Amino acid sequence: MTAEAPPVPVLRVQDLIKEYGEGDAKVRALRGINLDVEKGDYVAIMGASGSGKSTLMNILGCLDVPTSGTYLIDGADAGRLDEHQLAILRNRRVGFVFQSFNLIPRMSALANVELPLVYGGIGQAERRARALAALEQVGLADRVHHEPNQLSGGQQQRVAVARALVTAPALLLADEPTGNLDTASTKDVLQIMDRLSESGRTIVLITHENDVAAHAKRVIRLVDGEVVEDRRQAPAGGVPPRMAVR
């Protein structure tokens, strides 16, 4: 038997600690998180308000740095990168979806989706083609010239998903992506996430709703900055779990 090198996980988090403040006011938001996420996994991070979900998401997305511990994304050690290198990593390897959509007003859906490619230095023709393809993927080919205020909440979030995807990131990070949506739009957005997962995307989704977490292949539960549960499940989107064990 030839020994194959194990694949590099998309995310590797080791002994991650995050503290805010000093002395008596010190808050230990993350108390030693260990976590690997393999390529193609679909992970829901759950936990009560204040359990550290957003703190973890911000570190995973290179928006914040830990107090101690290591964090590797796609094999790159985020702790050893300077601000400029981190910004590039964030732009190329991570796609973000936020609860509040965070689209730029008075800019068309197309221009919003092109934006990460502008920062990435991609030429106009390619930008246009990739943004159109991403909008088509989320079912908005007929809304590309609409501005955010001319779109429903669900459509705005689909634009945000297209914007997150357009750079072909290694990881899609979503913090309560359906938190501001009605039932029908929630279903649309989750269906898109499920399809992306089926096509091999790596997704980490933060949610406090069981119905949303049910779509993931793996559920991680945080209590007071610690992982108290990490389990695999058959995703509700109907995708058979190809790998039931880690």
Q: What is the binding site for ligand ADP (CB under 6 A)? A: 20-21, 27, 29, 47, 49-55
Q: How far is the CB of 20 from ligand ADP (least distance, A)?
A: 3
In the complex with ligand ADP, the residue whose CB is nearer, 46 or 151, is 46
Q: Does 207 bind Mg ion (CB under 5 A)?
A: no
Residue type at position 123: G
List residues bridging with 222 in a β-sheet: 47, 227
Binding mask 115-154 for Mg ion (x = CB under 5 A): ----------------------------------------
Residue 29 touches which of Mg ion, ligand ADP, none (Cβ within 5-8 Å per kind): ligand ADP
Q: Does 197 bind Mg ion (CB under 5 A)?
A: no
In three-state secondary structure terms, 128 is helix
Name which of residues 52 to 81 contact Mg ion (CB under 5 A). 53-54
Q: How far is the CB of 227 from ligand ADP (least distance, A)?
A: 13
In the complex with Mg ion, the residue whose CB is nearer, 99 or 186, is 99
How far is the C-alpha of 2 from the C-alpha of 142, rounded, in Å?
Answer: 52
Residue 27 touches which of Mg ion, ligand ADP, none (Cβ within 5-8 Å per kind): ligand ADP
Q: How many residues bind Mg ion (CB under 5 A)?
A: 2
Q: How far is the CB of 28 from Mg ion (least distance, A)?
A: 16
- 3-state per-residue secondary structure call for 1-65: CCCCCCCCCCEEEEEEEEEECCHHHCEEEEEEEEEEECCCCEEEEEECCCCCHHHHHHHHCCCCC
Instruction: Measure Cα distances from 103 to 108, 160, 183 in Å.
Output: 10, 7, 21
- CA 8-10-13 angle, to 5 degrees, is 95
Q: What pairing do the DSSP bridges indicate for beta strands 11-20 and 94-98?
A: unpaired
Q: How far is the CB of 10 from ligand ADP (least distance, A)?
A: 21
Q: How far is the CB of 225 from Mg ion (least distance, A)?
A: 12
How far is the C-alpha of 123 from the C-alpha of 169, rounded, in Å?
Answer: 18
Residue 21 touches which of Mg ion, ligand ADP, none (Cβ within 5-8 Å per kind): ligand ADP
Contact 66, 59 (CB under 8 A): yes
Residue 51 touches which of ligand ADP, Mg ion, none (Cβ within 5-8 Å per kind): ligand ADP
Instruction: Measure Cα distances from 201 to 42, 84, 170, 225 in Å.
Output: 8, 26, 7, 27
- Interface stretch with Mg ion, choices 48-56, 64-72, 118-126, 132-140 (CB under 5 A): 48-56
